[in-house]
């Protein structure tokens, strides 16, 4: 038996799962210290189902805590930034293009050091080990507790980053150290940005992971716990403590994975309709499609693995207004004030939920309070709601073929009719706790992303090597080797160059070894 | 005028537009130029006519895979060395630098170079767009020798090359670039002020800037695509300008052939699903066909922009479901002559049809 938890900004949800069944679920308010909210949510599902804490084998936690902390600049540390790339990359210094307040918080403590690889893994320059040791001494003198190490083409060959790690650890045994090759892809600045963001969260990640431990101890749950990452797979508690940025997009990922699980579909569109926004994503082979472009977080450009999500300004609390004879819904929303201000709850503000109730297909609040709304306005508003979702679905679709649409989130009650371009519209049971369910069913993944020379190695051998590397990484992360499946293969030819240089990305995932 | 820090984002947007799908993401170029301006001060931008006829001008560019440049960036010394090596060879220092390709990343690399070296940058380039090879520039078409040229890398490896023609230089430099790690700095086409005035596509850096400004301003006013087209119509080269299509990406085919990103993108009209536009590309867009009928062909420019924000979308950024407008503009007259078409017209890209100017196509 296992428990999935979603620690969101507002609510902490817990679900108790046995094999494929949801035994119990509960929503509790998120608390300042994180731990209390988790304890009360898990307590509720345990007592609700009569299951003893000792029967729990795994706990999976999803959280947006680190994303929120970085965006709000809370609890961030100054970072010693080591870049191993000289003489390359000197034209673009670390923290270039960061928002001023953030770069001030993180501090300009950077050290550019000789070393690194070429695109094909050849050594560009030997690592200047003395310079790394000197940088570490200087970092110690400055009293910094956290270090980010980024090496030229480290996604292709990470050996120098690991050697630098040894040297820095030798000087600074207590520092937390982030290696860029564990986070990002080719593109030194974006990868370094992600590494520095991660390093700046070192203190917070220790506190939060500790509060997860505390919560489970209080609950007398002895099982190991895992945290879900951006791609919908799991990492161990020790790993999330080192790499909190890998949780940055786990919120939408978990809701999509949960929706997939609840609907039994592996390929579908998912719309998570909340109070203010609708997040639409695409599920491919049971995992969210990833964004191929760079993503800004808190004003910083990164290139790490994130799901491709389209956010629309439509939710249960979206304002309904008539402008120039047209009925408009959103993007402004009354959000959490819905329960007070919406007409069906006795308030004065007409919002999307009021339309759904007036339209006679949702039963929320008091439907008599909206019975006098003009019929024309109601039908136009409902039409507009469906148009917004239809357009969003159309943007995110991967082919002409109609695909199923799964609706989750409290705002799913806004949808009455089938959405054009979809084969069916499904609102599964337990749609409100899809996030926690998504966390509870996560698998363990492995990925490789580097450049191969097809002219020298051949396409088949290159692809096989890439798959083997990804599988080895999944096994290292705790996957049962017999369950590993290839999820995604992407070949991107490097333009403007002969020689058949092709960047291959392979992602695989398998069941957690101990679950079997 | 000087190229200021505030100009860089707009130049980058304009350069992506003029990249006609290729040329590499100017983001890293913008950061390089920004750091160079902060360290060395803003470079002076001069008009071609400000040059003395016997002034000496070098081009400066990066050559290789833009993805690799995103990892290695340029170190700066490699740029200085490329200019120094070419100057040594010619026994004379340059009086100014000029870009070779306004489309994509090579729009801003010359800004970085001019700032570092304290040299004026000439407001011009050799194509007014982006093309994939060194010989595909007006300088070559109108008789300027591509060589001697210098190639450098960040380890300060340098090569000075003489070849019989520009195409041979292209072939040789590509091979060298592979050995040097897929990203090198190239200084080529040393020429006199008089030659530059005769052969360059003039005023293109400020046009890139103004294109970016028009889009930015248009977004503030809620009409970015219209603002872009309005501006293009006022320019000397891009004045023949049409919105060819308003549609949604329904298919993208890509493959690599001899180091080129070759393929096609298909869009279906938002108003009439029977209308289909196919845009073929070889790094850059080559031809746009509506229901099989050619609507714009190289060297005229075919640019894809987001239909809401007018953000130019390069080939690497194309995704199914994007809603895009297809904007076509005329190339500079100097690029539509028989001599130019022989070097970068439809036949040079293996297309079996003749060039017809955009404004003469129904």
Each residue's pLDDT tens digit, B115-166: 999 999 999 999 999 999 999 999 999 999 999 999 999 999 999 999 999 9
Which residues of chain A lie closer than 8 angstroms to B283, CB-CB? 495-496
* Contact assignment for B67 to A494 by CB distance below 8 Å: yes
Q: In this model, does residue A69 exceed pLDDT 80?
A: yes
Quote the pLDDT of residue A398: 64
| Closest listed residue to residue B26, CA positions, set B43, B44, B9 | B9
Phi-psi region of A456 (alpha: psi -120 to 50; beta: other; left: phi over 0): alpha
CA-nearest residue of chain A to B320? A398
Please indicate, yes or no, whether residues A103 and A189 belong to a single structural domain of this protein: yes
**pLDDT winner (highest mean) among A112-116, A335-339, A479-483:** A112-116
Mapped onto helix, strand or coil, the DSSP state of residue A382 is helix
Please give the pLDDT value at position A501.
75
Residue A311 lies in a domain: no
Between vectors from CA A433 to CA A428 and to CA A438, what angle results, nearest 5°?
85
B118: left (phi over 0), alpha (psi -120 to 50) or beta: left
- Burial of residue B272 (CB within 10 Å: 0-12, 13-18, 19+) is exposed
Mean pLDDT of chain A: 88
Bridge partners of residue B277, in order along the sequence:
B267, B290
Q: How far is B54 from chain A (nearest CA, A)?
A: 33
Specify if B175 maps to a domain: yes
* A125 with B155: Cβ contact below 8 A: yes
The ipTM is 0.86
CB pairs under 8 A between A and B: 131
In a domain, B260, yes or no: no
A413-417, B71-75, B88-92: the lowest-pLDDT one: B71-75
Q: What is the pLDDT of residue A276?
A: 80
Gap from A491 CA to chain B (nearest CA, Å):
10
CA B112 to chain centre: 16
Strand duo B276-282 + B260-269: pairing? antiparallel
Instruction: Answer yes or no: is A175 within a domain.
Output: yes
- Segment B30-35 shows an average pLDDT of 93
A146-151 and A80-86 beta bridge pairing: parallel
**A455 occurs within a structural domain:** yes
Interchain pair B320, A397: CB under 8 A: yes
- Can you point out the beta strands (E) in A89-188? 109-114, 116-117, 123-125, 146-151, 176-179
A277 inside domain: no
Neighbours of B70 (CB within 10 A): 22
The string of pLDDT tens digits covering residues A368-377 is 999 989 999 9
User: Which residues contact residue A350 at a Cβ distance below 8 angstroms, ignoring those fewer than 6 apart?
Assistant: A319, A320, A321, A343, A373
Q: Please give the Cα distance from A250 to A287 (Å, whole number).
A: 12
Contacts of B116 (CB under 8 A, 6+ apart): B36, B39, B40, B76, B79, B80
* Inside any domain, residue B280: no
Confirm or reject contact between B266 and chain A (CB < 8 A).
no
Interface check A90 vs B, CB under 8 A: yes
Say which of A124, A292, A494 has its CB closest to residue B319: A292
Q: pLDDT tens digits for A208-263?
A: 999 999 999 999 999 888 998 887 788 888 889 999 998 888 888 888 889 988 99
Q: Is the pLDDT of residue A344 over 90?
A: yes
- Mean pLDDT estimate for chain B: 93
Task: Return the CATH number at A14.
Answer: 3.30.420.40
* Mean pLDDT within B337-346: 97
This prediction has a pTM of 0.84
Of A62-71, A234-243, A331-340, B285-294, the one with minimum mean pLDDT is: A331-340
SS (H, E, C) A451-510: EEEHHHHCHHHHHHHHHHHHHHHHHHCCECHHHCEEEEEEEEECCCCCCCEEEEEEEEEE
To test the contact with chain A by mutation, choose from B8, B19, B71 the residue with the greatest count of A C-beta atoms within 10 A, namely: B71
Q: According to the model, what pLDDT value does residue A493 have? A: 67
Distances (CA, A) of A319 to A327, A349, A414: 10, 7, 13
More confident residue, A281 or B74: A281
What whole-number distance in Å separates Cα of residue A228 and Cα of residue A249? Answer: 10
**Among all residues of chain A, which has the CA nearest to that of B173?**
A497
Strongest mean pLDDT among A321-335, A474-488, B224-238: B224-238
3-state DSSP helix/strand/coil % of chain A, to nearest 5:
40, 30, 30
Question: Is residue B307 situated within a structural domain?
Answer: no
Lowest mean pLDDT among A478-482, B19-23, B263-267: A478-482
Lowest mean pLDDT among A77-91, A198-212, B63-77: B63-77
Report the distance separating Cα B305 and Cα B148, nearest Å: 38
- Give the residue among A328, A306, A310, A326 at the shortest CA–CA distance from A318: A328
In a domain, B156, yes or no: yes
CA distances B304 to A386, B166, B279, Å, are 29, 30, 10
Domain of residue B184 covers: 5-202
Query: Is the Cβ of A502 closer than 8 Å to some Cβ of chain B?
Result: yes
Contacts of A291 in chain B (CB under 8 A): none
* Domain membership flag for residue B76: yes
DSSP code of residue A74 = -
pLDDT band at B104 (very low <50, low <70, confident <90, very high): very high
Measured between CB atoms, which of B73, B178, B260 is closest to A495?
B260
* Nearest Cα to Cα of residue A255 among A227, A234, A237, A281: A281
Among all residues of chain A, which has the CA nearest to that of B268? A400
Parallel, antiparallel, or unpaired for β A176-179 and A146-151? Answer: parallel
Residue A456: give its domain's CATH number. 3.30.1660
pLDDT at B230 over 90: yes
Chain A interface includes B71 (CB < 8 A)? yes
Q: Indicate the DSSP class of residue A418.
A: P
Q: CB atoms < 10 A from the CB of B321, how many?
A: 16
Number of domains in chain B: 1
CA A349 to chain CA mean position, Å:
34
Cross-strand bridge partners of residue B185 = B62, B152
CB pair distance less than 8 Å for A395 and B323: yes
Radius of gyration of the CA atoms of chain B, in A? 19
pLDDT digits (tens, 9 = 90+) for A447-467: 887 778 888 888 899 999 999
Question: Of A172, A200, A228, which residue sits at a domain end?
Answer: A200
Section A14-23 average pLDDT: 88
**A118, A148: one domain:** yes
Residue A89 with chain B: CB contacts under 8 Å = 71-73, 75
**Which residues does A31 contact at the CB level (< 8 Å), separation at least 6?**
A12, A37
A169 three-class SS: helix
pLDDT (0 to 100) of residue A515? 45
User: Residue A108 is part of which domain span?
Assistant: 80-200
Surface-to-core class of residue B318, CB atoms within 10 Å of its CB (0-12 exposed, 13-18 middle, 19+ buried): buried
Give residue A158's pLDDT: 84
Q: Is A352 helix (H, G, I), strand (E, B) or coil?
A: helix
B265 located within any domain: no
Say if A224 falls within a structural domain: yes
* Domain count for chain A: 3
**Of A368, A366, A372, A370, which Cα lies nearest the Cα of A351?**
A370
Band of the pLDDT at A38, cuts 50, 70, 90? very high
Alpha carbon distance B87, B85 (integer Å): 5
Give the burial string for A438-463 (b: 16+ CB within 10 Å, else e).
bbbbbbbbbbbbbbbbbeeeeeeebb
Greater pLDDT, B296 or A252: B296
Alpha carbons B47 and B331: distance in angstroms, whole number: 20
Residues A137 and A152 in one domain: yes
B256 part of a folded domain: no
Cβ pair A399:B68 closer than 8 A: no
Residues A210 and A102 reside in one and the same domain? no
Judged by CB atoms closer than 8 Å, whether chains meet at A395 and B34 is answered as: no
Spatial CB neighbours of A98, under 8 Å, sequence gap ≥ 6: A106, A193, A299, A300
Task: State what percent of residues in chain A have pLDDT above 90.
Answer: 47
| A216 and A196 within one domain | no
**A42 confidence band (pLDDT: 50, 70, 90):** very high
Using a CB–CB cutoff of 8 Å, tell me whether B112 touches chain A. yes
In three-state secondary structure terms, A65 is: helix
Which residues of chain B lie closer than 8 angstroms to A97, CB-CB? 31, 34
What does the H/E/C string look like for chain B?
CECCHHHHHHHHHHHHHHCCCCCCCCHHHHHHHHHHHHHHCCCEEECHHHCCCCCEEEEEEEEECHHHHHHHCCCCHHHHHHHHHHHHHHCCCCCEEEECCCCHHHHCHHHHHHHHHCCCEECEECCCCCCCCCCCCHHHHCCCCCCCEEEECCCCCEEEECCCCHHHHHHHHHHHHHHCCCEEEEEEEEEEHHHHHHHCEECHHHHHHHHHHHHHHHHHHCCHHHHHHHHHHCCCCCCCEEEEEEEEEEEEEEEEECCEEEEEEEEEECCCCCCEEEEEEECEEEEEEECCEEEEECCCEEEEEECCCCCECCHHHCCCCCEEEEEEECCCHHHCCHHHHHHHCHHHHCCCCCCCCHHHCC
Residue keyed to tokens 């293109």: B204
Question: Are residues A44 and A105 located together in one domain of the fold?
Answer: no
Q: Cα(A41)–Cα(B221) distance, rounded to whole angstroms? A: 49
Domain shared by A22 and A46, yes or no: yes
Chain A: residue nearest B23 by CA? A496
Contacting residues of B for A398, CB less than 8 Å apart:
320-321
Q: Is B250 close to A502, i.e. CB distance below 8 A?
A: no
Is the distance from CB of B355 to CB of B299 less than 8 angstroms? yes
Residue A414 maps to a domain: no
pLDDT band at A77 (very low <50, low <70, confident <90, very high): very high
Determine the pLDDT at residue B262.
86
Q: Is A501 on the interface with B (CB under 8 A)?
A: yes
Q: Which of A84, A185, A303, A497 best probes binding to B when mutated, by most B CB atoms within 10 angstroms?
A: A497
Residue B132 sits in a domain whose CATH number is 3.40.1610.10
B260 and chain A in contact, CB less than 8 A: yes
Q: For A92, which of B35, B154, B181 is closest by C-beta distance?
A: B35
Tokens of B48: 């071609």
A501/B182 Cβ within 8 A: yes
Say which residues have a Cβ less than 8 Å from residue B335's Cβ, sequence separation at least 6. Answer: B127, B128, B138, B201, B299, B344
Contact A96 B112 (CB under 8 A): no
Please list the residues that pair with A408 across neighbouring strands: A272
Residues of chain B neighbouring A495 (CB-CB closer than 8 A): 22, 65-67, 256, 259-261, 283, 316
The residue-averaged pLDDT of A298-318 equals 84
Whether residue B148 is preceded by a cis peptide bond, meaning omega within 30 degrees of 0, is yes
DSSP three-state, residue A381: helix
**Residue located via tokens 């945290």:** A227
Chain B (12-31) residues lying within 8 Å, Cβ to Cβ, of chain A: 22, 24, 28, 31
pLDDT score for A516: 35
Q: Which residue has the higher pLDDT, A229 or A195?
A: A195
Q: Which of B278, B261, B270 is nearest to B321 (CA)?
A: B270
Q: Which residues contact A176 (CB under 8 A, 6 or more apart)?
A: A145, A146, A147, A199, A202, A206, A242
A367 Cα to chain B: minimum distance (Å): 38
% of chain B residues with pLDDT over 70: 99
- Of chain A, the percentage scoring pLDDT greater than 70 comes to 96
The stretch A64-82 carries a mean pLDDT of 88
What pLDDT was estimated at residue A271?
A: 94
């Amino acid at each position: 038996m296992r428990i999935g938890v979603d620690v969101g900004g507002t609510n902490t949800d817990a679900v108790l799962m046995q094999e494929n069944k949801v035994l119990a679920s509960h929503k509790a308010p998120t608390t300042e210290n994180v731990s209390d909210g988790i304890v009360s949510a898990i307590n509720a599902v345990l007592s609700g189902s009569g299951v003893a804490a000792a029967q729990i084998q795994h706990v999976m936690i999803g959280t947006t805590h680190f994303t929120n902390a970085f965006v709000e600049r809370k609890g961030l540390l100054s970072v010693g930034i080591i870049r191993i790339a000289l003489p390359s990359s000197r034209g673009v210094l670390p923290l270039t293009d960061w928002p001023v307040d953030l770069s001030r918080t993180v501090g300009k403590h950077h050290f550019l050091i000789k070393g690194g690889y070429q695109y094909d893994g050849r050594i560009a320059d030997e690592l200047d080990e003395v310079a790394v040791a000197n940088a570490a001494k200087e970092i110690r003198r400055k009293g910094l507790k956290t270090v980010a190490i980024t090496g030229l083409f480290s996604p292709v060959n990470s050996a120098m980053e690991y050697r630098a790690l040894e040297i820095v650890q030798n000087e600074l045994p207590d520092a937390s150290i982030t290696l860029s090759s564990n986070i990002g892809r080719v593109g030194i600045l974006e990868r370094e940005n992600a590494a520095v963001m991660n390093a700046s969260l070192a203190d917070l990640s220790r506190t939060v992971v500790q509060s997860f431990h505390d919560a489970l101890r209080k609950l007398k749950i002895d099982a190991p716990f895992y945290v879900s990452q951006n791609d919908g797979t799991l990492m161990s508690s020790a790993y999330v403590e080192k790499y909190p940025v890998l949780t940055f997009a786990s919120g939408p990922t978990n809701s999509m994975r949960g929706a997939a699980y609840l609907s039994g579909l592996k390929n579908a569109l998912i719309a998570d309709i909340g109070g203010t926004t609708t997040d639409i994503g695409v599920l491919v082979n049971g995992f969210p499609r990833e964004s191929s472009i760079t993503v800004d977080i808190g004003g910083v450009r990164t290139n790490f693995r994130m799901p491709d999500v389209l956010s629309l300004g439509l939710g249960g609390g979206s304002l309904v207004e008539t402008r120039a004879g047209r009925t408009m819904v959103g993007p402004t929303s009354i959000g959490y004030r819905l329960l007070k201000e919406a007409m069906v709850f006795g308030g004065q503000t007409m919002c999307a939920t009021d339309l759904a109730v007036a339209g006679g297909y949702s039963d929320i609040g008091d439907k008599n309070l909206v019975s006098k709304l003009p019929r024309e306005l109601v039908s136009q508003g409902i039409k507009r709601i469906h148009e917004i979702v239809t357009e969003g679905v159309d943007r995110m679709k991967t082919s002409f073929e109609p695909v199923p649409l799964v609706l989750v989130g409290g705002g799913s009650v806004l949808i009455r009719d089938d959405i054009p371009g979809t084969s069916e519209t499904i609102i599964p049971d337990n749609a409100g706790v899809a996030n926690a369910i998504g966390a509870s069913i996560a698998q363990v993944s492995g990925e490789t992303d580097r450049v191969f020379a097809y002219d020298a190695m051949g396409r088949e051998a290159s692809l096989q090597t890439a798959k083997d590397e990804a599988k080895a990484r999944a096994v290292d992360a705790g996957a049962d080797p017999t369950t590993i499946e290839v999820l995604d293969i992407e070949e991107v030819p490097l333009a403007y160059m002969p020689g058949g240089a092709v960047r291959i990305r392979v992602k695989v995932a398998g069941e957690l070894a101990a679950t079997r | 005028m000087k190229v200021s820090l505030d100009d860089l984002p707009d130049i980058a947007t304009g350069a992506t537009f003029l990249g006609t799908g290729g040329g590499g993401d100017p983001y890293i170029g913008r950061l390089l130029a920004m750091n160079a301006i902060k360290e060395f001060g803003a470079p002076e931008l001069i008009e071609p006519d400000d040059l003395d006829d016997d002034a000496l001008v070098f081009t400066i560019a990066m050559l290789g895979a833009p993805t690799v440049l995103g990892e290695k960036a340029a170190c700066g010394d490699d740029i200085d060395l490329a200019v120094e090596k070419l100057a040594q060879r010619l026994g004379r220092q340059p009086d100014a630098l000029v870009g070779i390709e306004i489309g994509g990343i090579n729009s801003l690399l010359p800004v970085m170079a001019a700032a570092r070296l304290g040299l004026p940058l000439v407001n011009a380039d050799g194509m007014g767009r982006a093309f994939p090879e060194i010989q595909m520039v007006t300088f070559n078409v109108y008789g300027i020798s591509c060589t001697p040229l210098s190639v450098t890398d960040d380890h300060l490896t340098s090569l000075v090359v003489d070849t019989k023609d520009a195409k041979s230089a292209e072939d040789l430099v590509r091979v060298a670039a592979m050995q040097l790690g897929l990203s090198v700095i190239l200084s080529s086409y040393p020429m006199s002020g008089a030659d530059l005035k005769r052969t360059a596509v003039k005023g293109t850096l400020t046009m890139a800037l103004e294109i970016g400004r028009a889009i930015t301003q248009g977004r503030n006013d809620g009409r970015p695509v219209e603002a872009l087209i309005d501006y293009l119509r006022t320019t000397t080269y891009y004045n023949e300008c049409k919105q060819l299509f308003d549609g949604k990406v329904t298919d993208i085919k890509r493959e690599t052939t001899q180091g080129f990103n070759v393929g096609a993108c298909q869009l279906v009209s938002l108003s009439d699903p029977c209308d289909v536009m196919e845009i073929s590309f070889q790094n850059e867009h080559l031809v746009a066909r509506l229901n099989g009928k050619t609507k714009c062909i190289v060297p005229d420019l075919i640019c894809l922009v987001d239909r809401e924000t007018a953000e130019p979308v390069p080939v690497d950024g194309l995704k199914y479901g994007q809603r895009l407008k297809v904007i076509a503009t005329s190339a500079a007259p100097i690029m539509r002559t028989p001599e130019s078409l022989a070097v970068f017209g439809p036949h040079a890209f293996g297309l079996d049809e003749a060039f017809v100017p955009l404004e003469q196509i129904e």
